[in-house]
Amino acid sequence: MLDEFDKKGSHQGAIISAFPQVHKPSRPEPSLEGRRKYRTIWISDVHLGTKGCNADLLIDFLDNVDSETMYLVGDIIDGWRLKKKFYWPAAHNDIVWRILKRAKRGTRIVYIPGNHDEMFRQFTGLNFGGVEIRRAAFHTTADGRRLMILHGDEFDAIMLAHRWLAFVGDALYHLMMGLNRWVNAVRRKFDLPYWSLSKIAKHKVKNAVEFISRYEEIVARAAGERGVDGVVCGHIHTAEMREFNGIEYYNDGDWVEGCNALVEHFDGRMEILHWADEVIKRAADREVAEVNAESTRKSAAA
Ligand SMILES: [Mn+2]
């Protein structure tokens, strides 16, 4: 995907050529049959190129859902981290490959770069490999609501006023995510389900909660001023669906800890998916189906 820019001889090519090339996936895509279909899917804050990215769950998500349109709402690739330390496991390549493959199959894919992948913002208006790059987008739902879509760092007063603070915050966040991974590695050994440290921490820390709700309100108000019915963003890694003065606020969460996606059903109904829960549900459903099949076999034999 990225070499196309180099071929064009873009002077920005040097920056972009630092990014990895896309190879055949190490984990081939399973059959498309049985995928859950949605009208629209929004995901953001994947942070490819960092250890924090929950690539396994995202691959599972991509292999089990499909949509007419997919919005990548920023911080898909973490250029900040990747520049410091090159980290690009096969699973991260597999995600990029799957996204490009969807575009080839006819899914409309709109990529709105965030602050961690801001190096892609210079390509706003371009289209490569069937992926449209936009600074922001507007989406009309099946039931006629107009939604503005942007990453959301535009409203982050802390980011704008004190950029260094964002870097300190970034370091602290990665420290916490390291701890989160360690806790979950231990929990996995004991067959305990995935557990999100910062999901709990965020809800315990009053300041964080105040920050999040202030952020949500600011974003919703800005959307209201633009005359749209609602807004979809990411950035703060907190999935949410709520209303502020009649303006709908949607945040599609992240794939570092929450592992969420925002989806629009074919009737326009919106839903936040928590993929770790979906995987547990699927395993439970399979077990029930197996038990049922077993008892059917037994009663048929009797
Ligand atoms: Mn961001």
pLDDT tens track, the chain, 302 positions: 444 444 444 444 444 555 678 999 999 999 999 999 999 999 999 999 999 999 999 999 999 999 999 999 999 999 888 888 889 999 999 999 999 999 999 999 999 999 999 999 999 999 988 999 999 999 999 999 999 999 999 887 644 544 455 555 666 777 777 877 878 888 787 777 777 766 666 555 556 666 777 889 889 989 999 999 999 999 999 999 999 999 999 999 999 999 999 999 999 999 999 999 999 999 999 889 999 999 988 888 87
- Residue 70 CA, distance from chain mean position: 11
Give the distance (Å) from ligand 1 centre to CA of residue 116: 6
Name the pTM for this structure.
Answer: 0.80
Give the distance (Å) from ligand 1 centre to CA of residue 113: 9
Rounded distance between C-alpha atoms, residue 105 and residue 41, angstroms:
16
3-state helix, strand, coil in the chain (%, to 5): 45, 20, 35
Give the distance (Å) from ligand 1 centre to CA of residue 213: 16
Q: How many CA atoms lie within 13 A of 94 on its CB side?
A: 20
Give the distance (Å) from ligand 1 centre to CA of residue 150: 10
Asked if residue 18 lies in contact with residue 86, where contact means CB atoms within 8 angstroms, the answer is no
Give the distance (Å) from ligand 1 centre to CA of residue 62: 21
Rounded distance between C-alpha atoms, residue 196 and residue 193, angstroms:
10
pLDDT of residue 208: 62
pLDDT of residue 206: 54
Radius of gyration of the chain (CA): 20
pLDDT of residue 210: 67
Residue 77 has what DSSP assignment? B
Give the distance (Å) from ligand 1 centre to CA of residue 159: 10
pLDDT of residue 5: 41
The two three-digit tokens of residue 37, written as one number = 């279909």
Give the distance (Å) from ligand 1 centre to CA of residue 45: 7
Give the distance (Å) from ligand 1 centre to CA of residue 263: 20
CATH class label, 3-162+211-301? alpha beta
Residues whose CB is less than 8 angstroms from the CB of residue 117 and which lie 6 or more positions away in sequence, other chains included: 74, 75, 76, 77, 78, 79
Residue type, 38: Y
Place of tokens 């570092």: 256
Place of tokens 């009649």: 246
Give the distance (Å) from ligand 1 centre to CA of residue 78: 9
Give the distance (Å) from ligand 1 centre to CA of residue 301: 59
Give the distance (Å) from ligand 1 centre to CA of residue 138: 19
